[in-house]
Chains A and B, each alone.
Chain A
Amino acid sequence: MDYSEKISHQVAAIPRSGIRDFFELVQGRDDVISLGVGEPDFATPWHIREAAIYSLEKGYTSYTSNLGMPSLRKAISGYVEDFFKVGYDADSEVLVTVGVSEAIDLALRALLNPGDEVVFHTPCYVSYLPSIALAYGVPVEVPTTVEDNFALKADMLEAAITPKTRVLMLNFPTNPTGAVMPVDELEKIAELCVKHDLIVLSDEIYCELSYSDDEHVSITTMPGMRERTILLHGFSKAFAMTGFRLGYACAPSPLIEAMMKIHQYAMLCAPITSQAAALEALENGEAAMLEMKESYHQRRDFVVGRLNEMGIDCHSPGGAFYVFPDIRKFGLSSQEFAMRLLEAEDVAAVPGNAFGDAGEGFLRCCYATSFEELKTAMNRIERFIGTL
């Protein structure tokens, strides 16, 4: 059968992920040190896993409310108020989803009509562009640069806004650059959103993992923003719960209601076992989370220090667990550099162009791997650039 005729044009038009090719190559090799993963190296803290086991023992295996267990939504509302300093009603303004990825998909499908433009900053997480395209939106990239530490500039954003722009997607701290937003620039962006009547999807999945002394500030706290922001957050990164697949959206109730319409038919509800684990994470997980954060912080400082010392320019990212070194001076493309590094030294790092054209000339290295491995990886990278 000719399956190409059977696949929708919309899906067929989405290119294969650049990361996938690279990782098939990595998987064929032994003894590779991978700086290519996008998840914590810790297992979920035991007390959280134990809460999941306990819920199974007690027979909690049913569906939950479409929005998520009321007790979990209440805990989320409390946590968000505490951390982001903004209140959301647990009964009508919080939706528990299967990871932030589902929440992004729901929000875009709930907001966009065909042809609506969505502005997002690059380099960015690999799902943004396809998610916009799958929701029949038109993706509009705004590149960020290493000179601005990969923060989004308000004037660059304004230049990309047209009468068709409906949504702005933000992701700070950013995967893959670890960028954080200076508050004054974020304020300017908030003003633009109000001026142009945009809805903001603010994916703040890495917000706990922010290493500067300043507190993380969400755009939703800025004047006129709460009513037009969908705040997206989850448990994967800060609580090392990627496999539990649990995220949430906080927004005014008409927006949550619209997202819920899709969620209830596509997903029904997030898995109850994961919801039980998430409740434990919010109630008792802070100590374990802070310990992991401290460990990432130490490793970030080590990796940034080593890269600069060996002569690779690397800014110190403010958050997440990625560094995004600049390899342009070696005269190789991101792809070539990554391939040759893999072949010569068995170190896998993701070529920056996998995250958009703005990432060309850079590499994404995840430092959520053991200190010993990081040390070896840095030594190997140093040896590799000596041969260039």
Chain B
Amino acid sequence: MNDPLLKLLQSKARLSNEELAEALSLSSEEVDTRISQWEKDGTILGYQAVIDDEKAGELGVAAFIEVKLTPERGGGFDRLAMRIARFDQVSSCYLTSGGYDLMVVVEGQGLRDVAQFVSEKLSTLDGVLSTATHFRLKAYKEKGFIFESEEPEGRLPVTP
């Protein structure tokens, strides 16, 4: 990310516009205008907290599903990909190069939830040729944040 304001928002979206302005030596009016413009034109799609599910006591599961599709005249994979992406259970959906076409990340309450989504919704679509489901076992890093189980020792207050 080249724009310093966007870059800062990516890691610290909860800062107020005044705090953002202060950190980047901009005027808070400028921060205001640029952010509302980005929100309007869809450059900024939304804001979210990155949460360690395990610590939050959430028992949900996630699965990475490789999907092979038949491309269509005119739109290629777009129409089907959007149709899949719109389901609430789908948290991310990417067109990829390589052995399959779509990487679909699905979140659910449990294995059954995800299995039902794959068998009832995904694989029944005309144009879906095959799916391969990989369940997440452990998360190490998400959206640039490392999942740490232990706090590293802090720096010494005074060092040479």
Verify B88–A46 contact, CB threshold 8 A.
yes
Verify A45–B88 contact, CB threshold 8 A.
yes
Residue interface bits B82-103, CB-to-A below 8 A is 1, else 0: 0100111000000000000000
Verify A50–B83 contact, CB threshold 8 A.
yes
- Say yes or no: is A188 at the interface (Cβ < 8 Å to chain B): no
Verify A50–B121 contact, CB threshold 8 A.
yes
Residue interface bits B102-130, CB-to-A below 8 A is 1, else 0: 00000000000000000001001110000
Within 52-94 of B, Cβ neighbours of A (below 8 Å) are at: 83, 86-88
Verify A46–B87 contact, CB threshold 8 A.
yes
Q: Could you say which residues of chain A place their CB within 8 Å of the CB of B86?
A: 46, 50
Chain B's interface size range is under 10
Q: Give Cα A288 to B121, complex, Å.
A: 16
Q: Could you say which residues of chain B place their CB within 8 Å of the CB of A46?
A: 86-88
Given the known A-B contacts A47-B121, A50-B121, are A57 and B126 also in contact in the complex, defined by CB atoms under 8 Å? yes
- Say yes or no: is A7 at the interface (Cβ < 8 Å to chain B): no
- Say yes or no: is A287 at the interface (Cβ < 8 Å to chain B): yes
Q: Give Cα A288 to B125, complex, Å.
A: 22
Partner of B88, one of A47, A53, A54, A57: A47
Q: Give Cα A325 to B157, complex, Å.
A: 59
Verify A288–B88 contact, CB threshold 8 A.
yes
Verify A47–B126 contact, CB threshold 8 A.
no
Query: Does more than half of chain A's interface fall in helix, strand or loop, or is it mixed?
Result: helix
Q: Could you say which residues of chain A place their CB within 8 Å of the CB of B125?
A: 54
Q: Give Cα A45 to B86, complex, Å.
A: 9
Q: Could you say which residues of chain A place their CB within 8 Å of the CB of B83?
A: 50, 53
Chain A's interface size range is under 10
Within 12-67 of A, Cβ neighbours of B (below 8 Å) are at: 45-47, 50, 53-54, 57
Tell me the smallest distance from the CB of B40 to a CB of chain A, in Å.
13
Partner of B87, one of A47, A54, A57: A47
Which among B88, B124, B126 has the highest number of chain A CB atoms within 10 Å?
A: B88
Q: Could you say which residues of chain B place their CB within 8 Å of the CB of A47?
A: 87-88, 121
Q: Give Cα A46 to B85, complex, Å.
A: 10
Which residue of the partner chain B has the closest CB to A288? B88
Which among A47, A53, A287, A288 has the highest number of chain B CB atoms within 10 Å?
A: A47
Verify A50–B87 contact, CB threshold 8 A.
yes
Q: Could you say which residues of chain B place their CB within 8 Å of the CB of A287?
A: 88
Tell me the smallest distance from the CB of A303 to a CB of chain B, in Å.
24
Q: Could you say which residues of chain B place their CB within 8 Å of the CB of A53?
A: 83
Residue interface bits A368-382, CB-to-B below 8 A is 1, else 0: 000000000000000
Which residue of the partner chain A has the closest CB to B120? A284
Q: Could you say which residues of chain B place their CB within 8 Å of the CB of A54?
A: 124-125
Q: Could you say which residues of chain B place their CB within 8 Å of the CB of A288?
A: 88
Q: Give Cα A53 to B86, complex, Å.
A: 13
Q: Could you say which residues of chain A place their CB within 8 Å of the CB of B87?
A: 46-47, 50
Tell me the smallest distance from the CB of A290 to a CB of chain B, in Å.
12
Q: Give Cα A47 to B83, complex, Å.
A: 9
Within 260-301 of A, Cβ neighbours of B (below 8 Å) are at: 287-288
Q: Could you say which residues of chain A place their CB within 8 Å of the CB of B124?
A: 54
Which residue of the partner chain A has the closest CB to B109? A287
Tell me the smallest distance from the CB of A375 to a CB of chain B, in Å.
15
Tell me the smallest distance from the CB of A9 to a CB of chain B, in Å.
51
Q: Give Cα A345 to B136, complex, Å.
A: 53
Which residue of the partner chain B has the closest CB to A53? B83
Q: Give Cα A54 to B88, complex, Å.
A: 17
Q: Could you say which residues of chain A place their CB within 8 Å of the CB of B121?
A: 47, 50
Which residue of the partner chain A has the closest CB to B124? A54
Q: Give Cα A45 to B83, complex, Å.
A: 13
Tell me the smallest distance from the CB of A91 to a CB of chain B, in Å.
26
Tell me the smallest distance from the CB of A125 to a CB of chain B, in Å.
31
Tell me the smallest distance from the CB of B52 to a CB of chain A, in Å.
22
Tell me the smallest distance from the CB of A263 to a CB of chain B, in Å.
32
Which residue of the partner chain A has the closest CB to B125? A54
Tell me the smallest distance from the CB of A241 to a CB of chain B, in Å.
16
Which residue of the partner chain B has the closest CB to A291? B88
Which residue of the partner chain A has the closest CB to B84? A50
Q: Give Cα A57 to B128, complex, Å.
A: 14
Q: Give Cα A54 to B87, complex, Å.
A: 14
Residue interface bits A70-104, CB-to-B below 8 A is 1, else 0: 00000000000000000000000000000000000
Q: Give Cα A18 to B160, complex, Å.
A: 81
Q: Give Cα A50 to B87, complex, Å.
A: 9
Tell me the smallest distance from the CB of B91 to a CB of chain A, in Å.
14
Interface residues of chain B, those whose CB is within 8 Å of chain A, are 83, 86-88, 121, 124-126
Known: A50-B87, A287-B88. 6 other contacts (CB 8 A): A47-B88, A50-B86, A50-B121, A53-B83, A54-B125, A288-B88
17 A-B residue pairings within 8 Å (CB atoms): A45-B88, A46-B86, A46-B87, A46-B88, A47-B87, A47-B88, A47-B121, A50-B83, A50-B86, A50-B87, A50-B121, A53-B83, A54-B124, A54-B125, A57-B126, A287-B88, A288-B88
7 shortest interchain CB distances as A-B pairs: A46-B86, A47-B87, A46-B87, A57-B126, A288-B88, A50-B83, A46-B88
